[in-house]
Structure 1
């Protein structure tokens, strides 16, 4: 029996070593799984740093609905967005105050009612609307319409405003472009819209890149004001650069995910 004891002891030691190694392996595996599980949550937390825009359009209460100066009276109707992001709200409010100072600060003295009846009547309507969000990019549009008494028709405009929620700044065309590709962009935009541009007698040397753009379903849409590329009856011109042709011209971080 004494001869068997060393064998039994050796077997017990081997069993203990195997159990110890197994425990270490399981502990290491559990720790690795914990680290792997924490990785997605860290990425998600970075995404969660970006606000999910919630917005509604609401009218602005002005000191006066109609403001009269020496030669004309203008009726104002303004509406802006109310979002869950304060700096976006302030951007549009300051923008409207800059564009329409008389609407927010009418003159102290105005013509009498009888005098105002003989003045030119005009109207000015501004509306800010939220369009949507794609990752860190939030899109809005400022729709404006003006009409002056005696004019053949009113004038309207749509200005698209896209914010980078990471930098808290508006994205301009210069931000979109790779370095030194402006002429390549004009060439690509002209080629993608050549039929329409040829029909309207717009040559490539007359085409310029506008700062007014939005991200459409099929590509980046560059929007031109009334009369710039076509007659009033055609409305505002929209030229689309397909996303497939935008690669290499537009920075990848500004291409929709």
Structure 2
């Protein structure tokens, strides 16, 4: 018995749709990067104070993401805003070791902080020691959206017109941080280390996290301060699709 033409077309369409769903990447399935590490000193240098470069980074199956991570690490090597950066990590290593003095060192690292809701949250770490009293550590955050294949900006994350409300909420969270660290009644501390904005914002599963560089809102001895804003406080401020568990694929 011959099937009606329209029924055949409908059946083929259903099969094609099923195949597309079957082979579509599951964006909730965590990516599994390969860790790439090396540490080099100048050729022929075997002394205890040889300068060194230590790289500890990640390679994903997503070459676009790999390029973003490498460029972000290279930008962590800038010693002043707007300074030029090397074309690659290998080029940076060669340049650093060519000009480095004994005991100088440079460390660059990328780690997966979290993965959820089609987001890969990468934390970047750097440490540069050029012989001062102590080295200079740095941090960076990349919220990579696998659906859009881009790093999210704050404007991407927030509901339009809500940037002031976001930072007002961050100031409230900073007050909670002061209380938790027994600093709320220390007027001298608050005067010397007032609240400021940061570009290091992570869409963590449990809360939106603000991570600060050393000596930004606290002395060097306190490391990298973390301020957390619970998602319920950000209703109407953060776009609904960036609340954990709310994103449709």
TM-score (norm 2): 0.69
C-alpha displacement of 1:74: 4.4
Higher normalized strand content (fraction of residues): 1
Shift in CA distance, 231/45, structure 1 to aligned 2, threshold 3 Å: same
Q: Does 1:187 align with 2:197?
A: no
SS in 2 for 1:143: strand
Residue-pair matches, total: 209
CA–CA distance in structure 1, aligned partners of residues 18 and 238 of structure 2: 29
Aligned match for 2:136, one of 132, 142, 155: 155
* 1:93-132 matched pairs, under 5 angstroms: 93-97=70-74, 99=77, 101=86, 103-106=92-95, 119=101, 121-132=103-114
Q: Which shows bigger deviation, 156-165 or 51-60?
A: 51-60
CA–CA distance in structure 2, aligned partners of residues 148 and 75 of structure 1: 11
CA–CA distance in structure 2, aligned partners of residues 230 and 169 of structure 1: 32
SS in 2 for 1:244: helix
Do the aligned residues in 1 keep the contact of 2:205 with 2:244 (CA within 8 Å)?
no
Q: Does 1:172 align with 2:153?
A: yes
Partner of 1:138: 120
Shift in CA distance, 96/229, structure 1 to aligned 2, threshold 3 Å: closer
CA–CA distance in structure 2, aligned partners of residues 97 and 240 of structure 1: 27
Unaligned regions of 5+ residues in structure 1, if any? 1-30, 68-72
Q: Does 1:248 align with 2:236?
A: yes
Higher normalized helix content (fraction of residues): 1
Aligned match for 1:65, one of 34, 37, 41: 41
CA–CA distance in structure 2, aligned partners of residues 171 and 218 of structure 1: 18
Do the aligned residues in 2 keep the contact of 1:186 with 1:207 (CA within 8 Å)?
no
TM-score (norm 1): 0.67
Deviations 1:95-150 (A, max 9, x none): 44454636344399x68xxxx8xx4531100011123321221111111112222x
C-alpha displacement of 1:78: 1.0
Quick one: higher RCO (CA 8 Å, sep 6+), 1 or 2?
2
CA–CA distance in structure 2, aligned partners of residues 190 and 44 of structure 1: 46
Larger Rg: 1
Unaligned regions of 5+ residues in structure 2, if any? 1-9, 44-49, 78-84
CA–CA distance in structure 2, aligned partners of residues 182 and 49 of structure 1: 28
CA–CA distance in structure 2, aligned partners of residues 195 and 141 of structure 1: 24
Do the aligned residues in 1 keep the contact of 2:116 with 2:205 (CA within 8 Å)?
no
CA–CA distance in structure 2, aligned partners of residues 161 and 155 of structure 1: 20
